[in-house]
Amino acid sequence: MEVAKGRQSSWVGSVQSLLGTVIIAVFVITFVVQAFQIPSESMENTLLIGDYLLVDKLQYGGGGIWDRIMPYRHVHRGDIVVFHYPVHPSQHFVKRVVGVPGDRVRLINRQVYVNGTPLKEPYVIHSSPMHDPFRDEFPRLNVPVPGLEGTWWLQMRKLVEDGALIVPEGYYFVLGDNRDESLDSRYWGFVPRENIIGRPLLIYWSLRSTNDNLPASSVASDKFYRFAYAVSHLFEITRWNRTFRLVN
């Protein structure tokens, strides 16, 4: 009888331990960190397609009374942030903050100026040799381009003064580090403060594209084949030099 009770007690303890672990995991995922995958080349070479990030959701707080109690920090110019895409909030974007509320932002021949001072951006790359008047001389009010959000085109015209775009209170102007291949604030507008989820903390894993390693005879559209190839060649396609790298 005592043996049976001991087994039952051990079983109950194991269940309690498992439930405790699940609750802690749910709490961490919900309030502390969130996993995020880089889907595009817009942040190269800081972040690459295939990088898997842990995003610190406590970095900036979430508004309300807790922001006055906890040691949260403000969003700073130069921060990389993950946010809900303002045009389609179900999508997550990652970009670098270039302008904070009150800043006057403009680009002259690809060089970013904030409040009349050229911004030092050693992380920026330019992948296109072609000059684009809208992209490289922003803001341009007389050169609409494909992909430009109509509402932003109208709003932007009201916020330009002396050739610079003024960032309103509660909003942020963001750009991709791969400046020529980034769909960013130049094309769809500001990021509201409430859309910001957090700041990337760590690349916990990074994978090269399996397309670079598939045999020539394979069918590129065969998702099962690509998945099987990735699993069987996991060691080879992992970018070990990027795994567990801090993001800055």
The residues annotated as belonging to the active site are 42, 95
Residues 6+ positions from 154 with CB-CB distance below 8 Å: none
What is the number of other CB atoms lying within 10 angstroms of the CB of residue 213? 14
